[in-house]
Amino acid sequence: MPAHVVTMLGAGLIGDFYTRTLHAQRSRDRVGVIYARKADRAAAFAARWDIAHHVTDLSEAIEHPASDVVVVALPNHLHEEAVTLAARAGKPVLCTKPLGRTADEAWRMQQAVEKAGVFAGYLEDLCYTPKTLKAVASVRDGAIGEVTWVRAREAHPGPHAAWFWDTRLTGGGAIIDLGCHWIEIIRNFVGKQNRPVEVMCQADTLVHPIEAEDNAVALIRFASGAIGQFEVSWTFRGGMDLRDEVAGTHGTIWLNHFLRTGFEMFTAAPRDGYVAEKAETSAGWLFPVGDEVAELGYVDMFTDMFDALEAGRAPRETFHDGVVVNAVMDAAYQSARSRQWEAVTVPGWHGEDTPHLHVEPERFEGQLVVKRELLPDGRAKLILRHPESGDFSEREL
């Protein structure tokens, strides 16, 4: 199988995570070119990861003859330029989340790669965590029946770099930084063919001296009737809270990705050191993470991307998925302003309309079974509804 040489655009934290993963994941792919705006950062990154070429010109990095794949790990406002240049260079391009600052921007990026005929993947790592992959597979196998509701939450003390806080560069605050993760996770559970129809969102700036929202809660209604709920915060204290809950007609799934993973430690020793991303202290009760790049989905994400590239298939997360996510976030921002439900408009929607969820009720002696119940004393009973009169009754079994 061929090895790939990557141009990494961006020498920040996400560039570090991506490079660490790429150098380890399949034991053959390497970052060969690193781009950073400042020469000293590019040189330091190259030295840290033993990268042959470091440059400060974006076009030069993308067109560099040493690489055959471009990975975009840049601030949001640079995504469209980088993707457009990669498409013109005829190179496969993988772009970090969110794809764009708006659905229109993301749609232009999708059109650019499709017109050029190049492979493109949306780097939405949290859709690839081992727990999420297994949970989604269980849902698709029918383990919890039809999905009715998904709740997803990410909360932490705020981003690590200055540009994240500037809406002129990002397009938003906690919603566009964190909500993009959870919208796509929700879509994986309810089904990607399930069109997001409308959004109700409450967003506010509660703590930080910024223009962007630092807290938000949103509801997404899908064509099937399923509800997606995401909660995001840049003001949560105590680390990074990543959780999902999935409810179905025959079961429930709960996932905790970071704060309660089975690894807890207390220390009063005088020490400083890295514990986990967004951890605020290295003393007291700590929640270390065994292997962050694996737990956060980077390993499975890049394995899927490069396997898909070599097999000539689409990856699990495509640019179209990124466009859908941006469209939902656009509606969330509009709803936060209007304080009412706002329609989701997805440019170039690829899916088919999903029928509204319908569960055929069980019947007992000609009546509809609302619920089966086992009482504390061991008796079993049914709650019934008469199909004609609409009257409710109880029957012991």
CA 111 to chain CA mean position, Å: 22
Q: Is residue 238 scored above 60 in pLDDT?
A: yes
- State residue 27's pLDDT score: 67
Looking at residue 1, its pLDDT comes to 58
Global pTM?
0.92
Same-domain check for residues 110 and 222: no
For residue 132, give the amino acid letter. T
Using one digit for the tens of pLDDT, what is the confidence trace for 131-148? Answer: 999 999 999 999 999 999
Whole-angstrom distance, CA of residue 232 vs CA of residue 107: 25
Total domains in the chain come to 3
User: Comparing 274 with 39, which gets the higher pLDDT?
Assistant: 39
Show which of 84, 108, 125 is a domain's final residue.
Answer: 125
Q: What is the dihedral of CA 80, 82, 88, 91, to 10 degrees?
A: -120
Residue 358 in domain: no
Q: Summarize the confidence of residues 46-59 as an average pLDDT.
A: 97
Percentage of the chain lying above the pLDDT 70 cut: 95
pLDDT of 149-167, one tens digit each?
A: 999 999 999 998 999 999 9
Judged against a pLDDT cut of 60, whether residue 219 lies above it is answered with yes
* Same domain, yes or no: 333 and 202: yes
If pLDDT is split at 50, 70 and 90, which confidence band does 397 have? confident
- Contact (Cβ atoms closer than 8 angstroms) between residue 179 and residue 230: yes
**Range of 384's domain?**
363-396
Last residue of a domain, one of 125, 156, 188: 125
- In a domain, residue 23? The reply is yes
The reply to whether 69 and 83 lie within a common domain is: yes
Helix extents (H) in the chain? 13-25, 39-49, 58-63, 79-88, 103-116, 130-140, 167-170, 174, 180-190, 292-295, 298-311, 319-338
The reply to whether 59 and 158 lie within a common domain is no
Give the pLDDT confidence score for residue 26 in this predicted structure. Answer: 57
pLDDT the model gives residue 289 = 74
Tokens standing for 167?
Answer: 């809406």
